[in-house]
Copies of this chain bind each other. A is one copy, B any other.
């Protein structure tokens, strides 16, 4: 039987993001870094809920969102697994997503005392840390 991979995530009180969003973001990050390879099994919604001290429905919501994004696959009676990377969005939708994300990011960093090249280099460095690219 498939062994569950430990999930090194936590909830931060004071984080502006809702709890379910924090879970979504951290799991994406773990997958992106290769700490959760395809086919690995995640903790059950009840187990992760106990680990994080939250309600199983909240965990289920996070898993549902990641499933909708194509990162996870859930099977009743069996559990939740990391999927092989597969693209859910059309080319247009991806371009739009990139535009939107970039706009938000630029809005956050535009007034910092870094020049554009420094910021772009920093983004490139962080992206290059993601193993599966």
Interface residues of chain A, those whose CB is within 8 Å of chain B, are: 25, 28-29, 32, 69, 71, 85, 87, 89, 91, 94, 97-98, 101-117, 119-124, 126-128, 130, 133
Contacts and interface: CB of A to CB of B under 8 A. Distances in A.
A123 B123 contact: yes
B126 A123 contact: no
A114 B94 contact: yes
Nearest to A25: B107
Contacts of A117: 124
Total copies of the chain: 2
Given A98-B122, A120-B127, A133 B107 contact: no
A79 B101 CA distance: 33
Contacts of A103: 126
Given A119-B123, A120-B127, A124-B117, A107 B29 contact: yes
A127 B133 contact: no
Nearest to A105: B105
A114 B98 contact: yes
Nearest to A109: B101
Nearest to A129: B106
